[in-house]
Structure 1
């Protein structure tokens, strides 16, 4: 990873952490969930060790009662792990849903208080995506990604530690081959997903061509445009095929990765068997060792997946924070009418100029002056684009004039809070 990418990731993590303020009201439930995670992860690490002990007890010809006690302990640990995992999941779901509800409410409250100038520069679909898609991306990451990352770190470090206690030599042998295969499997899977998304995108574009062509079939026929549309559709379907073929190459390579996993595990078992033959290891230890190897390989591949999810979440967090940093209008939700701000209906435009924020180079109103008395009915007449709707928008304080003044009962409109009007 380059220095630029590291800085970007670091800055993105800081942005993501800013959203954790919404989790603060539920921090004790979150902390309890993390405690349950530690217990359940620790219990899962004991599972391979006890299985290996059972195998060794059988090989040594130990008493049935001792084997039964170990089996009962194994059952207790499995039940404990299941109960703590269940409790942890329930707590994390509770915290996540309540936090997301707070984020959605805060985001919507902020969005609806933004000035019209903001909405004139944004598409409705983009803003809707912020509330729906970007918040949805946070759903797994607020608690799930952090929990997964911590669990994977604990399993990897704990598993390697227990393996080294059992056999330092075999641990080094395993670390030389199994993690590499896990990473190879992850990157192959990511390539398959990438080409799958490309193919889906091309399919969507080809469907759009069909829809546009059939909806406008009269125009196609009128201009004898059939060859052009046929060629356009052919190119898109060929793009779909190319993306599918490239993805198929990576998909086919999965069989070699599976073969590599079997070879890796076979190599670990072979090496362990030679150590058993020379008295350096017992069969139960090798049995536990193989299970730990699977745990570690799976979690290393999982960590790469967590990093990918984290990058998507950082992008969503940055989008949401940019929106939340937009200045809102000063709207007083507890506003009480002020007698000094009572309006009687006199309106005056005094040399008003106006340019829309999204089109600063175009002057919509220039040196406009007129007056309207209370109770007077006035019609604004003019061609499209003359500024009729703009004058109405200025009266409603959707925008502030670029120059001049708008007077209500002889007072500048800027002196009135938005809530009063």
Structure 2
């Protein structure tokens, strides 16, 4: 295991998800890591130090002073000891303190003293997680170089359902494994990814679009980056928090703008992944002024948009590899496979709107990957980060790449 002998500082904050820290600690110890747990004061209300110290085989620290003798828990020493500082769960309150350098407990002092990489696994209710203040704090923390383990979707303690659940301990272990033993199998390769939706103007205030969030495309961009590639992203309008400085990033709005940007980069690329949900049609003549509501009916004439994957497929060079995506609702396999030949793709990734946990907006996906040579592979429903790495592994099997 890549975690064998690694020193993990595990921070636990005041969240109902603190109960998962016990299972996470057990998995870390089982993986061969050394674990030193530091709790915030409020975390003591959710899980006892006795439970965590028993599992970690170390005393749990939660205050500066060790005992009545005046001895202290040295946060500077702690910050130097760890190979990784993992905070799981990370509450909104602690995230805010980290983002603004506030230091009122042992956990925050250790964070400010840590020289090792930091991973943060947020946990809170869905409205809190989407609040602009929290999103800004996460963006700020990411800009510091911290790694954010995005919250997962599901049932929350409030009874509501949505994004806010702490990443499951098993998924955290997978991320730690990948972090400590990263594949660098795309080192030196230039990769173009189109992602997100496009917006086709009806008038200055209205447009035609779709429900794509860009989550799958971003997961692919992150996976390629982690595995050594130089990543170029052409993205339609998305609402995700992204450190665009990690990539060569171009923001576009319409299908034509996306095509123009992708075309300008295509000849330099080793690999192109067409993950964007590009609108097939656009208004033929967008109004220059806002269309006023007057008649009971309104007719909008549409024209066919440029097919980006098809157009660039016609000029694909022998050394280049193209990957397409297909989102289907009927005749799924047949429609997806037909794109391999029609668009000169080496692989096509099929999403189905009929499968639970797959498609737009959600954090998970389930895909079927078809190769040009007739082979295929299917995934289970899994986080999009995991699906992204599966797609990369399948790309490595393509004859062009081999």
TM-score relative to the length of structure 2: 0.20
Greater relative contact order (Cα 8 A, min sep 6): structure 1 or 2? 1
Question: Which has the larger share of strand?
Answer: 2
> TM-score, length-normalised on structure 1?
0.20
Of structures 1 and 2, the larger Rg is shown by 1
